[in-house]
A and B are shown apart, each in its own frame.
Chain A
Amino acid sequence: MQYDEKRLTRIVATDCGSTTTKAILIEWVDGEYRQTIRGEAPTTVEAPLNDVTKGVINATNELEELARLKYNNPNIKFMENGEFVIPRNGDIGVDAYVSTSSAGGGLQMMVTGVVASMTGESAERAALGAGAIVMDLIASNDKRMNHEKIERIRHLRPDMILMAGGEDGGTVKHVVEMAELVSGADPKPRLGAGYKLPVIYAGNVEAQEEVKKTLQDKVDLIVTENIRPKLETENLGPARDKIHDLFMEHVMKQAPGYNKLMEWTRGPDHENVPIMPTPAAVGNIMQTIAREENIEVLGVDIGGATTDVFSVFTDEHIFNRTVSANLGMSYSISNVLASAGLDNIMRWVPFDINEGELRNMIKNKMIRPTTIPFLLKELVLEQAIAKEALRLAFIQHKDFASSLKGMQKQRDISEAFSQSTSGATIVDMMSLDLLVGSGGVLSHAPRRNQTFMMLIDAFLPEGITQIAVDSIFMMPHLGVLSEISTKAATEVFRKDCMLYLGTCVAPVGRSKIGKQALHATITLPDGKVFDEHIPYGELRLIPLGVGEVAKAHLKTSGGLTLDSNKSKELDVELHGGTVGIVIDTRGRRPFGLPTEKAQRISYLKKWMRELKVYPEEILA
């Protein structure tokens, strides 16, 4: 059901994250939908409260108070007796309340397939696309012994299992064998001992009966269409829909307070609006941008516990999502240190710090995840850690976002000499049009220039790429809002959510520090011309406001290239933003930082000063 401004004039949307519950108010003001107020409170899945709705109430209280201040109207109220008043009646109540959630560890799944890189990977893609964390992929060919697989299944305790395997008419034996292993393990759900574990079977249609015989007494078996009916076809939709249904029916009901929250999320006619897993909502939004603008998009949402990367590449707009379950800025911050290593974090820090002090700081953030960096030094360190979390999550994404493996591919003569194979990544930073960041550390960085630098340092965009950020972290909210009003979600997205930071120009190739790299002639809207021969190893910031466009003539030297056609000279339009145009001649493929500490710190300071990333006192 979709509504317009006649029925929807005031909406509260929340995202119950693992650390904080973020509430936004969306209102129909002066003939348009706008996001007007934002509030937040710690998520309350921890004792003594153990009830997610308490955090929602606290965040909504903050919204109410700020609304009263903003409109100078002491009568404004969204809730009465601890519940939302729906629909709105003058100052009291809202027309709808919607929510997303990743609290309680989100949706944790295990997937199975016959060949790990084929049906297994398709199952993984379906689970990830539905917003799940994939705890493990178990496949017939994954080199573990059968008893090891059984032990693993028993040990994992997922929220649900997705089983794929075999194209229609293909292997039955291997699929049934996997069902036997699942049956033998007799897995128990992670939350709540009172119900059977949901298992979705989306494999070879001819194995359905045997799988039913093997499993239906032990688990709650749901059979749906084959996820990989043919080797060259993926059919993720039906399995993904089943995952969403089960997430609501089984998993959410087990988390503290969710029964109540599920009753709260309602539209103007009191119809239920299902709570959506946060990543599924963000995925919705990313796909909408790519489709509507007809562009390639790469997006990231870095949270406290996980980092999600979304991409839409190729002419067919192929969507991929990966979740790095243990890369995040609070609960998982210590794992970023363990995965990236101290040296990789320190390479982004423009000062020296005692190693023990840094390690203890990171661990303290892990155990007290809701704290905020007060000291400038701590902010710089957290942003250095964020760069590594983003970089590692992106590596995982590139590996995963690939063409279907195992397909026969006919090649023409031009392809015969290229390296492209089935299963190669479809992520191409050179053809990428837009890089979007979201999540606390990116959306709430005190300076947008910091967000810009975190994104380009972590993702290393190539050629010409627009950079944007979710202004105050509201993509999840809008993703679920679009279920009842695409109009409201789209308007708010364009006007308040998507904040263009500017454009990054980064020639690709290797050269020598100081050697001529790029001659940029940029004519700004006011007629002024930026004209500089920029050496290799530099950054330049040219201010250009939101909505402004500059005409640029770019000419590289030393074999550096600017686009997929390996052009060395280009005339292009560059779009501005709150930061502007950033020219990055630090090199790509490879990008490297000086290894010697003093030299590296000196370069970092120079770049950070040029981009006005931090106050001068920390760069002095």
Chain B
Amino acid sequence: MAQAYSAGLTVTDNIILRKERVLPLKGEVLVQKGDKVKAEDVVAETLLPGKVVPFNLANKLGVTPAQLQNFIKIQPGQQITKETVLAENKGLFGTGLFKNVVYSPVDGEVENISSVTGQVLLREPRIPVQVKAFIDGVVTDVIPEEGVIIENKSAYIQGIFGVGDETVGELKVIAKSPSDEIGVGDINDSCKGKVIVTGACVSYEVIEAARNHGVAAIITGGIDDQDIKRLLGYDIGVAITGHEKIGLTIVCTEGFGKINMAQKTYDLLKQFDGHKTSIHGRTQIRAGVIRPEIIIPLDFEHEELKAPEAAVPVLKPGTMIRVIRQPHFGRIAKVTALPEELTKVESETMVRILEAEFEDGTKFSLPRANVEVIES
């Protein structure tokens, strides 16, 4: 086989990005097609339905569900406060003595009244939700009542794993090389609000220092599993992340353990040192994969916003690859051949392999599944 499909993460200094920014429920879009927006701008907002409070009114009143309709003072859709009487009975023999009056436990709205169960559902006031642009760019489409599509030209890096939600800050490369490992002393007040680059690894102590100095986000090659556990207070079982409230966002570009940041990734970050950067740690490795993103918006003309069709990363002789599992984890090489036959590797597994050459000329072979294509 002369070539084969291979998965890979995107690292590029120039991409046309298209981001859908939509509300969780229908609401109001605040911008128009053609508007230029900043990452911090609110583009759409809505009111989420408030919390539902089930309330067994028949029980409270001491009547059967079927009798409830004789005493009820509210109807579905009615606005209520804690002073609203939901139901009252007429007291002993209709005299008003020992009259039982039930007030609403919450402010809000009546959702439903059931004569089968005697239960009323009350809904608390709506909760406002806003969606921000997240990236500087142009609104190229409006989805009525739902949100917008924002496009821009960016330098773009997909991370492999992250924690923490969307944030924006100025890029600050602290690591002096992809293999560097910065210390607590490297973090100071100049890092406040910044997206910092730490090199091959970031320790728990450095993360703590970053939090204390108000760092917005950390970009690192690797991170130790135990440091993540300490940071979150639990072990990550399934990689669905991004919702953590830990005071900052962390994006790993390579994986777990100390792993040199890919030279290309480091060089790209270094090139854009000081630029405004949008970043999130959201990772979901099943059911519609999501990877963390580092987005550095560039200046562009509107005509440039033509996204090329998604290219399929392909392995063929000459393709540059990065090894993504032991042995040689993290090293860069060039494919020299793609033998068709299944080949037995050290573990005795029969796999399709590729033959490749490191920069120093050393030759090796590996399962095709254990490399990713580096886009040129």
Residues of A within 8 A of B (CB): 18, 41-42, 45-50, 54, 58, 62, 65, 69, 104-105, 146-147, 150-151, 172-173, 176-177, 180-181, 183-186, 190-191, 193, 210, 214, 255-256, 305, 326, 331-332, 334-335, 337-339, 356-357, 359-364, 366-376, 378-379, 444, 446-447, 615
A566 to B225 Cα, complex, angstroms: 48
Q: Are B325 and A374 in contact (CB under 8 A)?
A: yes
Bitwise, B335-352 to A at CB < 8 A (1) or not (0) is: 000001000111111110
Given A334-B236, A367-B160, check contact A374 B116 (CB 8 Å): no
Query: What's the Cα separation between A446 and B51 when bound, in Å?
Result: 54
* Shortest Cβ gap from A343 to chain B (Å): 14
Residues of B within 8 A of A (CB-CB), count: 62
Known: A105-B287, A334-B235, A359-B226. A184 touches B52 (CB 8 A): yes
Q: How far is the CA of A54 from the CA of B121 in the complex (A)?
A: 47
Judge whether B51 and A151 touch: CB under 8 Å: yes
Q: Which residue of B lies closest to A57 (CB)?
A: B5
Instruction: Verify B287–A147 contact, CB threshold 8 A.
Output: no
From B114, B255, B347, B348, give the contact of A363 (CB < 8 A): B255
- Find the residue from A190, A256, A337, A446 having the highest chain B CB count within 10 A: A446
- The segment from B187-195, B355-363, B365-373 that touches chain A is B365-373
Q: Name the one of A105, A177, A185, A256 contacting B52, with C-beta atoms under 8 angstroms.
A: A185
Closest chain-A Cβ to B226's Cβ sits at a distance in Å of 7
Task: Find B346's partner among A54, A374, A444 (CB 8 Å cutoff).
Answer: A374
Nearest opposing residue in chain A for B312, CB measure: A49
A444 lies within 8 A of B349 (CB): yes
Which residue of A104, A191, A367, A379 contacts B347 across the interface (Cβ within 8 Å)? A379
Chain A residue nearest in CB terms to B289: A46
Contact of A326 among B121, B238, B255 (CB under 8 A): B238
Chain B residues, CB < 8 A from A46? 7, 289
Task: Using known A-B contacts A359-B225, A446-B347, determine if residue A374 contacts B289 with beta carbons closer than 8 Å.
Answer: no
- A41 contact set on B, CB distance < 8 A: 5
Does A331 contact B238, Cβ atoms closer than 8 Å?
yes
Is B225 in contact with A62, judged by CB distance below 8 angstroms? no
Asked whether B184 is an interface residue with its Cβ less than 8 Å from the other chain, the reply is no
- How far is B119's CA from A180's CA once the two chains are assembled, in angstroms? 9
- For B234-277 the 0/1 string (1 means CB < 8 A from A) is 01111100000000000000011100000000000000000000
Q: Which residue of B lies closest to A146 (CB)?
A: B54
CA A603 to CA B75, docked complex, whole Å? 73
Assuming the A-B contacts A146-B54, A363-B256, A375-B327, are A177 and B237 also in contact, with contact meaning beta carbons closer than 8 angstroms in the complex?
no
Are B349 and A379 in contact (CB-based, < 8 A)?
yes
Interface of B is mostly: loop
Tell me if B117 is interfacial: C-beta within 8 Å of chain A. Answer: yes
Residue of B nearest to A379 (CB): B347
B124 CB to nearest chain A CB (Å): 10
Question: Which residues of A sit under 8 angstroms from B347, Cβ to Cβ?
Answer: 373-376, 378-379, 446
Closest Cβ of chain B: how far from A346's Cβ, in Å?
Answer: 16
**Complex CA distance for A370 and B4, rounded to whole angstroms:** 15
Q: Which of A176, A255, A334, A447 contacts B348 (CB 8 A)?
A: A447
Q: Please give me the residue from chain A that is nearest to B237 by CB atom.
A: A335
Task: Provide a sorted-by-A list of 5 A–B residue pairs whose CB atoms are within 8 angstroms.
Answer: A18-B286, A18-B287, A147-B54, A338-B236, A371-B369
Cα distance, A447 to B340, chains bound together (Å): 22
- The answer to whether the Cβ of B53 comes within 8 Å of any Cβ in the partner chain is yes
- 0 or 1 for each of B1-24: is its CB under 8 Å from A? (1 = yes): 100111100100000000000000
B256, A373: Cβ atoms under 8 Å?
no
Q: A48-B311, A49-B310, A376-B348 are in contact. Are A366 and B289 (CB under 8 A)?
A: no
List of A residues within 8 angstroms of B350 by Cβ = 446
Minimum CB distance partner of A48 in chain B? B310
- Chain B residue with Cβ nearest A445: B349
B290-312 vs A, CB cutoff 8 Å, 1 = contact: the mask equals 01000000000000000000111
B326 proximal to A (CB < 8 A): yes
Supply 9 further A-B pairs (C-beta < 8 A) apart from A42-B369, A46-B289.
Answer: A47-B289, A54-B5, A54-B312, A184-B112, A334-B238, A356-B257, A364-B257, A374-B349, A446-B347
Chain B positions within 8 Å of A326 at CB level: 237-238
In the bound assembly, the distance between CA atoms of A584 and B84 in angstroms comes to 73
Which chain A residues lie closer than 8 Å to B160 at the CB level? 367-368
